[in-house]
Amino acid sequence: MGALKHIFWLGTKELRAVLGDAMMVGLILFTFTGMVYMQATALPENVNHASIAIVDEDNSSLSRQIANAFYPPYFQTPVQITAGEVDAALDGGDILFALSIPNGFEADLRRGHQPEIQLDIDATAVMQAGLGDAYIQNIVNDEVARYLSRADAESDLAIGNEIHRAFNPNGTMSWFNALTGILDFLNIIIIMLTGAALVREREHGTIEHLMVMPLHAVEIALAKIWANGLIVLVAFGLSMSVVVEGWLNVPVAGSRWILMLGATLYLFAASAIGILLGTVARSMAQFALLVLLVVIPMMLLSGGISPVESQPEMLQPFTALLPSRHYMAFSQAVVFRGAGLDVVWPDLLRIAGMGLGFLLCSLLVFRRSLSAAS
């Protein structure tokens, strides 16, 4: 009972230290709101409202059909320009794509010829330009094939594919980017909060005060874990309800209580990693470098940026040792597929086990550092 009392009061001291810093509170709130929203929407993997101009020298029903095939949200409404205006529009950044349909295009197709269409691209917007090229080619080919099919031309395709997307029918990348962003910021914030708190006490000399008190290393570590974890858990809940479900309109198919349970266990595991790094580091500069070495692999290998199966084979067994990989699998299963505890309990068990292992390692190193300091 006395140990629980010590953990509680040490944790309240940690809460006052963090919540009393207005800059830190503002940083946490901005990270889990503005930063999550920007990461989910700022770097789309699809073409998004790209500007396009049409040079229609054919003025046929097929050329108008092609022009009408470009519409939001992939493209802006096409503007009609002349061939002489293309260079000025591209140089001025007014348009990203210029599609030129030559005179006699429809007539040549009806005669069985293979006329060419010119596409000019402003490649300074590298991602949109690269993706938009493929989008435009597919759209033009589809419209030409549809036109020829109506003209009773034989199709070379024996079958047609009809794609149905499970859990995300429109393929909205912001849904996945939002979860990846929350995981990334959970890692950064909780590891930095817990580890920096330990390093700060060592640098300020308050660790000696704790050493002369009737406290154990596990009480000090657990106090920092529950206090900082509670702050980040509240920020996580705010981010899920306001940003993910509110601003981004991401539907949460599963139980929100299961999602919060998984976040709690993951915060425990990540906090233990922060305690371990804060114990090993001897200064704030060393701690910052260690955070970079640990957090970046946790972010890249979690499976949020690229599936684990697509990563190098020599790294895939290593990812099983990262709690971020199991939390990403857990959160995607709950949010998108509506999985219950009967499905995700192995991931929760792995996260909790890893957190316990990191905590035991940090306590061992922490005790040794206290003994060396005394």
Segment 308-317, tens digit of pLDDT: 888 888 888 9
| pLDDT attached to residue 152 | 46
Which neighbouring-strand residues pair with 80? 54
Q: Within 13 Å and on the Cβ side, how many CA atoms surround 333?
A: 18
* Partners of 293 in the β-ladder: none
Most confident by average pLDDT, 79-88, 105-114, 210-219:
79-88
Of 89, 116, 150, the residue at which a domain comes to its end is: 150
Angle of CA points 211, 216, 221, to nearest 5°:
95
136 shares its domain with 208: no
Note whether 117 and 249 are same-domain residues: no
Helix (H) or strand (E) holding 47: none
d(CA 368, CA 273) in angstroms, rounded, equals 17
pLDDT of residue 159: 61
Q: What is the mean pLDDT of residues 269-284?
A: 91
What local confidence, expressed as pLDDT, does residue 370 receive?
61
- Does one domain contain both 185 and 284? yes
Q: Calculate the average pLDDT of the chain.
A: 86
Q: Which domain holds residue 123?
A: 52-150
Give the integer Cα–Cα distance in Å for 59 and 229: 64
> Are both 187 and 276 inside the same structural domain?
yes
Residues 28-73 pLDDT 10s: 999 999 999 988 887 655 777 889 999 999 999 999 999 999 988 8
Q: Judge if 286 and 304 occupy the same domain.
A: yes
Kindly state whether residue 162 falls inside one of the protein's structural domains: no
pTM of the model: 0.77
User: Does some domain include residue 166?
Assistant: no
Q: Distance between CA atoms of 336 and 254, rounded to whole angstroms? A: 7
What is the pLDDT averaged over residues 303-330? Answer: 89
- Is 295 part of any domain? yes
CATH (domain of 110): 3.40.1710.10
**Is the residue at 157 inside a domain?**
no
CA distance linking residue 76 with residue 132, whole number of Å: 12
With respect to residue 164, please indicate whether it lies within any of the assigned structural domains.
no
- Beta strands at 52-56 and 79-80: parallel, antiparallel or unpaired: parallel
Is-contact 240 182, C-beta < 8 A? Answer: yes
In a domain, 155, yes or no: no
Same domain, 220 and 175: yes
Q: How many helices (H) and strands (E) does the chain have?
A: 15, 4
φ, ψ (nearest 5 deg) of residue 100 = -110, 120
Q: What is the pLDDT of residues 196-233, one digit of tens each?
A: 888 887 777 666 566 666 677 788 888 889 999 999 99
Whether 127 is covered by a domain: the verdict is: yes
User: Looking at residue 153, what is its pLDDT?
Assistant: 47
Q: Can you tell me the mean pLDDT for 5-25?
A: 88
Nearest in space to 202 (alpha carbons), one of 224, 227, 232, 229: 224
Rounded Cα–Cα distance for residues 217 and 207 (Å):
11
User: Domain for residue 159, yes or no?
Assistant: no
CA separation for the pair 288, 277 (Å, rounded): 9
Check the CA dihedral 166-170-176-178 and report its sign.
Answer: negative
Q: How far apart are CA 360 and CA 334, in angstroms?
A: 29
State whether 232 and 287 are in the same domain: yes
| Residues with Cβ within 8 Å of residue 173, at least 6 apart in sequence | 44, 45, 46
33: amino acid identity, one letter: T
Confidence band, pLDDT 50/70/90 cuts, at residue 125: confident
Look at residue 310 in the predicted model and tell me its pLDDT: 83
Q: Are residues 76 and 25 in the same domain?
A: no
Q: Are 78 and 222 contained in the same domain?
A: no
Residue from 109, 16, 95, 19 nearest 61 by CA: 109
Number of domains in the chain: 2
Predicted confidence (pLDDT) per residue in 126-162, tens digit:
777 778 888 999 999 989 888 887 754 454 555 666 7
Percent of the chain with pLDDT over 90: 49
237 burial type by CB count under 10 A (0-12 exposed, 13-18 middle, 19+ buried): middle
Residue 233: in which H helix or E strand, if any? helix 217-238
Q: Name the phi and psi angles at 146, rounded to 5.
A: -65, -40
Please indicate, yes or no, whether residues 329 and 189 belong to a single structural domain of this protein: yes
Give the model confidence (pLDDT) of 167-198 as tens digits.
877 777 888 888 889 999 999 999 999 998 88
pLDDT value for 42: 74
Beta bridge partners of 79: 53
Band (pLDDT 50/70/90 cuts) for residue 22 is very high
In a shared domain, residues 27 and 133: no
- Please give the structure tokens belonging to residue 331: 């959160």
Pair 343, 317 in one domain: yes
Distance from C-alpha of 134 to C-alpha of 304, rounded to nearest angstrom? 25
